[in-house]
Amino acid sequence: MLEKTPSDRPDAAQRPEADTVGPHAVPLTLRVNGMTHTLSITPETTLAQALREQLDLTGTKIACDRGACSACTVWLDGAPVCSCMVLALEVGAREVTTIEGLTDREALHPVQAAFIEHDAIQCGFCTPGLIMSCVALLKRTPHPSEHEIRAAISGHLCRCGTYPHVLSAVLAAARTEEA
């Protein structure tokens, strides 16, 4: 196999100007839970890391750190995303909502209260992510069927096996909102 010799390689000075940042920290502005934050982050920092390590919003959990479990779910402009799969630099002007921003902290969100009522929490590591997906579901589908709830939480891994309780909790929260 022919290997490229140094003389075959384009000279760095001839390469098109790359739109790169880093490896050093760069400034970043993030809108999180209704507040604007100015951070200094290295380009490989994920949104999950920025939230936990720079903003102290540790309700967002990092479990697999590779998009497989959904424990790190937050909202970007109201849509659930795995924050371990989003670079903080990619967020741009979109509004980030974490579990801490779900309510004004004076009271629990009805879905949080229903999780407690229906014993849908064991170790709790998957819980914030699950709640973010369940609340997003109720916002777009206030009266979901069991099938719709299962579909909404299908990417969430709960090693403690709370799924039947999560289902009951979301159905109950939907009824509460109805009342």
Q: Which chain residues interact with ligand FES by CB under 6 A? A: 62-65, 67-72, 82, 84, 121-127, 158-160, 162
Of 26 and 157, which CB lies nearer to ligand FES in the complex structure?
157
Rg (CA), the chain: 20
Of 159 and 175, which CB lies nearer to ligand FES in the complex structure?
159
Of 98 and 127, which CB lies nearer to ligand FES in the complex structure?
127
Of 64 and 79, which CB lies nearer to ligand FES in the complex structure?
64
CB of 163 to ligand FES, least distance (A): 9
For residue 101, give the nearest of 122, 67, 128 by alpha carbon: 128
Of 78 and 124, which CB lies nearer to ligand FES in the complex structure?
124
CB of 160 to ligand FES, least distance (A): 3
Q: φ and ψ at 20, to 5 degrees?
A: -115, 155
For residue 33, give the nearest of 71, 75, 67, 65 by alpha carbon: 75
CB of 129 to ligand FES, least distance (A): 8
β 26-32/35-41 pair status: antiparallel
- How many other C-beta atoms are found inside a 10 Å radius of the C-beta of residue 147? 8
First-to-last C-alpha distance (Å) of the chain: 72
Q: What is the DSSP letter of 107?
A: S
CB of 16 to ligand FES, least distance (A): 34
Token pair of 98 as six digits? 């974490």
CB of 32 to ligand FES, least distance (A): 17
| Number of residues written out for the chain | 179
